[in-house]
Amino acid sequence: MSDRMLDPGIAAGRLEPEQLSGNFSDLHPPLDDHEALVAADRCYFCHDAPCITACPTSIDIPLFIRQIATGTPEAAAETIFEQNILGGMCARVCPTETLCEEACVREAAEGKPVLIGQLQRYATDTVMAQGVHPFTRAAPTGRQVAVVGAGPAGLACAHRLSMHGHDVTLYDGRAKPGGLNEFGIAAYKSTDSFAAREVDWLMQIGGITLETGKRLGRELSLAELREGFDAVFLGIGLGGVNALDLAGEDREGMRDAVDFIADLRQAEDLAGLPIGRDVVVIGGGMTAVDAAVQARLLGALNVSLVYRRGRERMNASRYEQDLAAAKGVRIITNATPIAVHGNGAVREVEFEYTDDALTPTGQRFRLAADQVFKAIGQTLEGPDLPELDGRKIAISGAGRTSLPGVWAGGDCSAGGDDLTVTAVAEGRDAAEDIHASLGAQA
């Protein structure tokens, strides 16, 4: 064992660069040609395929798998991209184990589904590697649409609008586009700068002007956008992070998990990224699992993920939970944080066990911690937003908000399930509704 692993507290370089490189390599290496043909051959090509119904973007899965099986992955990719222009990223991060693959007839019959996600990646990677963009713009309409937020929903909306001939100005508050695809998912799920390369490929459609460093409520005003554009789409995501509301929450070593993941995704040298010896992650969703697993991969000696409900209630899929456990993450359920202890810096987090109704049992325990990541959900931020439904933007139909000429989709809108693939579907469908609306106004 390296001496670096014996360093107490938060420190960089706990693992050697070679080990870090291996830890953060591709979680699912791509299929080669032969593997893809073998995997495609297992598909029954069901006429009433339940996998299509389970896909939020309604990709014709049997068709694209048949196209792979007949040696035409380029045609398969076009089938995918017609419904999901971010099919390459979704193939990497989509929880296929709870969507299309869970619905697969092979899964029901044999407990082993067709590798739909990996086959989708095989097809989309084939076309993207060729530098080919399979779609062209329609004749310019002269219509101008503002898309705020260059994450999955905004990118899908902008691309579909451009295909219809509308001119799109795509705004994002960060210095780089991509949203959660660029900043918010585990690094081992999207390697080799794939998120940035996918955006560059998508932008080949033309007709989209990207302006970064412009955030709604700061450099952008919704009222001014409505005045200056024929339509506005909001794909602003969730910029705020929920607080634990505990005494000591501001101690050194307490961090938001989303910030940790973003720093890791943008780090040029993982060996320079500080990580604790004893890490505690509070939460039960994908962000919590991604933070916990990556803390282990960076060299944290002890990582505990603590969730207030039972494992069956965790938003992270069972596959992701098992992945975390396999990487050495200890998962503790039915426990709620009640105090953060330490003198300036966090040293322990105190929890109390709860029952399924979140009623405290009176049993308490403490976990040693020099670093704590909070992953208990995010909140919508921004002034003068359309009418809300709870804590998100209320929508009807294909993303229409309470304000005329304003649509919304993705994590900022009510009714979704906070998945990349769902955000893509909502952005695409809103674009079609915007296009129809602009046509009706002509």
| Amino acid 2: pLDDT | 42
Q: Could you give the angle at the alpha carbon of 274 between the alpha carbons of 245 and 349, nearest 5°?
A: 30
DSSP secondary structure of 119-154: HHHHHHHHHHHTT-----PPSP---EEEEE--SHHH
| Amino acid 239: pLDDT | 86
Cα 363 to chain centroid, rounded? 36
pLDDT at 4 over 50: no
Q: Torsion-angle region of residue 91: left (phi > 0), alpha (psi -120 to 50) or beta?
A: alpha
- How far is residue 319's CA from residue 404's CA, in Å, rounded to a whole number? 42
Tens digit of pLDDT for each residue in 244-282?
A: 999 889 999 999 999 999 999 999 999 999 999 999 999
Coil vs helix vs strand at 5: helix
Tens digit of pLDDT for each residue in 80-135?
A: 999 999 999 999 999 999 999 999 999 999 999 999 999 999 999 999 999 989 99
Structure-token match 């911690």, residue found: 369
Tens digit of pLDDT for each residue in 162-203?
A: 999 999 999 999 999 999 999 999 999 999 999 999 999 999
CATH assignment, 243-377? 3.50.50.60
What is the torsional sign of CA 151, 206, 212, 433?
A: negative
Cite the beta strand spans of 375-433 per DSSP E. 378-379, 388-389, 392-393, 406-408
Q: Structurally, what CATH architecture does the domain formed by 33-129 represent?
A: Orthogonal Bundle (1.10)
pLDDT at 386 over 50: yes
| Amino acid 8: pLDDT | 61
Q: At what angle do helices 420-441 and 152-163 cross, to 10 degrees?
A: 40
pLDDT at 219 over 80: yes
As given in the structure block, the two tokens for residue 393 are 């933007």
Please answer whether residues 352 and 364 qualify as being in contact, where contact means their C-beta atoms are separated by less than 8 angstroms. Answer: yes
161: part of which helix (H) or strand (E)? helix 152-163
Q: CA of 157: how far to CAs of 160, 317, 362, 364, in Å? A: 5, 28, 50, 48
Tens digit of pLDDT for each residue in 57-87?
A: 999 999 999 999 999 999 999 999 999 999 9
Q: Where do runs of H (alpha helix) occur along 10-115?
A: 17-23, 33-40, 50-54, 61-69, 73-83, 87-93, 100-103, 105-110
**91 CB-near residues (< 8 Å, 6+ apart):** 117, 118, 120, 121, 124
Q: Where in the chain is the domain with CATH 3.50.50.60?
A: 144-239+380-441, 243-377
What is the torsional sign of CA 109, 420, 38, 82?
A: positive
**375 CB-near residues (< 8 Å, 6+ apart):** 256, 257, 258, 281, 282, 283, 285, 287, 288, 291
**373 CB-near residues (< 8 Å, 6+ apart):** 255, 256, 257, 260, 279, 280, 281, 282, 283, 288, 291, 292, 295
Residue 311: count of CB within 10 angstroms of its CB? 14
Please answer whether residues 254 and 374 qualify as being in contact, where contact means their C-beta atoms are separated by less than 8 angstroms. Answer: yes
CATH assignment, 144-239+380-441? 3.50.50.60
| Amino acid 345: pLDDT | 95
Residues written for the chain: 442
DSSP secondary structure of 341-361: E-SSB--EEEEEEE-TT--EE
Amino acid letter for position 297: L
Please answer whether residues 303 and 329 qualify as being in contact, where contact means their C-beta atoms are separated by less than 8 angstroms. Answer: yes
Q: CA of 155: how far to CAs of 181, 182, 202, 399, in Å? A: 11, 12, 8, 15
Tens digit of pLDDT for each residue in 343-384?
A: 999 999 999 999 989 999 999 999 999 999 999 999 998 888
- How far is residue 339's CA from residue 348's CA, in Å, rounded to a whole number? 9
